[in-house]
Structures are given as structure tokens and as C-alpha cells.
Homo-oligomer: A and B are copies of this chain.
Amino acid sequence: MDGELISVGTEILLGNITNTNATYLSEMCARLGISLYYHTVVGDNAGRLTKTLKQAWARSQVIIITGGLGPTQDDLTKETAAEVLGWKLTQDAHTKKRIENFFKEHLKIQDVKKIPENNWKQAMVPKGAQVIDNHNGTAPGLILEQDGKSMILLPGPPGEMKPMFEEAIYPYLRKRQPEVIYSQMVKICGVGESQVEADIQDLIQKQKNPTIAPYAKTGEVHLRITAKAKDEKEAKKLCKPLVRELKARFGKNIYTTEEKKTLEETVVELLADQNLTLATAESCTGGMVAARIVNVPGASSVLKESFVTYSDRAKRKRLLVKKGTLAKEGAVSSKTAKEMAKGGCFTSGADVCVAITGIAGPDGGSKEKPVGTVFMACCYKGDINVREFHLSGNRSKIREYSTVNALILLRDTLLQNFKKK
């Protein structure tokens, strides 16, 4: 099935907001096996919106439109879509009631008369459209079917659009697809993006069904394997050999095959499984590793504490780094990283401590230790793993890569230890 996305909103054309709806919907359509050929962004302008909708309707089977469903006069999407298809608007009693309830529950307005008049515009729907309830706002979603094609209208705020898509649109589109689509995620860490691409070049070249699509994230690469078949069982079966092949090629660098699991979650799980507690000792990352760990709900059961020891004094006082080490080797050195990790375990009483010290720039670099030089150490019950990095990019890139690499070092240390036991 061919499709396209249309985002309506002058705020996107002005650069006020990034069109993340398009990213989300594109990934969803890829999962559904819908081939998207175009994204278009158009402002809240009747003439240009009409032209855009007509063009899309002429060339695509599924059109997903976001934005322009609000209560103001600027919001034209529903009216324009109805006009393009030649449909009439009519008041939907169910939606009117839902909007009333929404105001009562969420906005504490009990008196219907006090609801701003323009909100009732949102209860007007093209006659014959399928109405999708919005549990997080007032504007309903709409599906308009004609000549075997579908025009799907969704509100612009991601917090309203995404739940509606997941609840109603995804199942609707899935039914419309003649075949079943199944997809499986393989998440890789510790291998560079270009290396992963080179390693799977042959698989990509001969791909057909299933397909394989790489998504580069900071310090990680996610591979999505997608198969089409007559039923889910068949599709899963098609994916299996490819997933097995990837496991053979990337081994322990695959940290999960679960869609929603993050790197920090796998680290927290490894710690919890082994009943271990964690501390972090951070210099150039300044708390970013701890912040990633705290991303995981329930991190409190494993994270003992963290030290951001940006100054030499704090490195000495909190982490017992030796004065001589700082003087002789410098704050950014393998030896300092080691002592930070060891000291972090000792002073917090945690079983494991990961330490990061580096030069994130723009200043502070030297010939021997240029900007991007980062040392990391992970102490596990006295054993210490050390790694040295030479990262490129600006200050924030260097700090982001350092953070991911610290999580990878932690994971590797925990896996090593897991094996020993």
C-alpha cells in the first residue's frame, strides 16, 4: 500500500517546532509495510492546503494528516478535507458529550455554558467519517474512506496523536494491509555505525523479505528486521534465520532484541540480577551517566550514589585520588580514572563503580592530550577495567559519546563477571 504524510502548521514552516510526528508516523508505517513516498508540511492556509490534499488524494492510497484540528479559526484541516472529498460536516453527538466530559474532568469546568464557544467546532465531523475518540484532548481523530482510499486526520500534539494512532489507527491500517507485517529489533552497542553497515552489506544487498533497516543512535545501532507474510507465525518464521545470522555476527554486542528496552535498562537489570549496587564517579560527563541510570524506573534499587567530581579537590576528597597521581599523570589519565573508580566503590560502599575523566573542550586540550581524550575505568570488587577514547565532535557530542561508552563499559564488566560465576 502506498501512502504519504501531510503535516499542517505554520509553526513547523517557521522552524518553531521540529516535525517529530513525521518521524514517529514514518517508523509506524514502515512497521505496517506501508510505503511512504512523500512527507509534506503546509501552513494553515486554505488554498495551499486544498492543493496539497488534492495532489495527495490523486496519487496515494493512504494519507495521514496531522494538525489543524483545533478550535480556532486557523484550524482548517477538517473543513478542507471534507471539501476536497465532497463531504458535508455534521455535529457528532457522541463527540460533543466527550468534549463536555473532558472539560469537566480535566479542566474542572462543570457548567457547560462556560466552555468557550469555539470548542463546539470540534464536534463537527464529515458525515460518514469514522470518529476516533481523543482521550488526551478535545479534537477527535477522523477516518474518511472513499474509492478504496483512506484519509486519516489526527490532532497535531504528539501527546494526543500517538495514543490515538496506537489505539485506533494502527489496528485499522493493519486490517487494511492484505499481508501481516512482523518486525523484530536487534540493538547493537560497542560497534561503530559504519562498521555495522559494512558488516551487513551483503545482507542488505540481497534483502527482500525480510528487509533489514539500520537506525543510527548515539553510540548504538538499531537494526529493524521486517517480514511480510500471510500470518504472524509465517512472518516470524521468515525473520528467524536473519536474526540468528545477526546474533552470530555481532554476538555479545547485541544488548537486546526487545523493541523498547534501552541500554541503561539492560545495565540496571544486570546489576539487579546479580544483586549488585552501583556508584558513578564523573568528571567530564558531569552527572550524565547517573542521569541515564536514573532514567530507568526503579533505579533506586541499584544506584547507591554518584559523585560529580569536577575539581581536583573533589576527586581527592570524595574519591581518594592521590595528590601525586593528579600532579604526575594529570586529572585526565588512565591512573586517575582507575583511582576514581576504586575510590568510588570504597567511599560509597557500592559493588561496582564506573569513573569517567576526559577533555570535552573547547579548551583544555594539549598536544599529548587533545580535546576528545577520555579515560574510563570500571571497578568491580577490586578488579579494574580501563579504556581510553579519542572522540571527535563538539563538547556535547564528546560528552554524549562518553556517557554511552561508560554504560557499555559497565555492561561489559558485568557480563565478564557473570561468566566467571
Contact = CB atoms under 8 A, between A and B. Distances in A.
A12 interface: yes
A14 B42 contact: no
A294 interface: yes
Contact of A19 (B22, B303, B311, B314): B22
B37 A13 contact: yes
A357 interface: no
A303 B294 contact: no
Given A295-B395, A303-B308, A396-B295, A37 B42 contact: yes
A287 B282 contact: yes
A245 to B, nearest CB: 21
Interface in A148-192: none
A266 interface: no
B294 A286 contact: yes
A391 to B, nearest CB: 14
B23 A15 contact: yes
Interface string A187-220: 0000000000000000000000000011110000
Interface in A209-237: 213-216
Interface in A308-356: 308-311, 313-314, 318, 348
Interface in A268-294: 280, 282, 284-291, 293-294
Residue of A42, A287, A300 ringed by the most chain B CB atoms within 10 A: A287
B298 A363 contact: yes
Contacts of A285: 291, 294
Contacts of A291: 285-288, 291, 399
A72 interface: no
Contact of A38 (B40, B314, B362): B40
A419 B407 CA distance: 44
A26 B12 contact: yes
Contacts of A396: 295
Given A15-B25, A16-B213, A40-B38, A290 B297 contact: no
A304 B311 contact: yes
B37 A48 contact: yes
Interface on chain A toward B: helix, strand, loop, or mixed SS? mixed
A225 to B, nearest CB: 14
Given A39-B13, A286-B299, A307 B305 contact: yes
A43 interface: yes
Nearest to A287: B287
Given A38-B40, A294-B284, A15 B26 contact: yes
A331 to B, nearest CB: 10
Nearest to A295: B396
A291 B291 CA distance: 8
Contact of A311 (B13, B300, B314, B362): B300
Contacts of A308: 280, 287, 290, 294, 303, 305-308
Contacts of A18: 18-20, 22-23
Most central of A45, A216, A289, A294 by chain B CB within 10 Å: A294
Given A300-B311, A395-B297, A37 B27 contact: no
B14 A26 contact: yes
Contact of A310 (B17, B22, B26, B305): B305
Contact of A287 (B28, B39, B289, B298): B289
Interface of A: 12-20, 22-30, 36-43, 45, 48, 52, 213-216, 280, 282, 284-291, 293-295, 297-300, 303-311, 313-314, 318, 348, 360-363, 395-396, 399
9 contacts: A12-B39, A15-B22, A19-B22, A282-B287, A287-B294, A291-B291, A294-B360, A303-B310, A307-B307
Given A285-B294, A287-B294, A294-B310, 18 more contacts: A12-B39, A13-B38, A14-B36, A15-B27, A280-B287, A284-B294, A285-B291, A287-B289, A287-B290, A287-B291, A291-B291, A294-B399, A295-B395, A300-B311, A304-B311, A305-B311, A306-B307, A307-B308
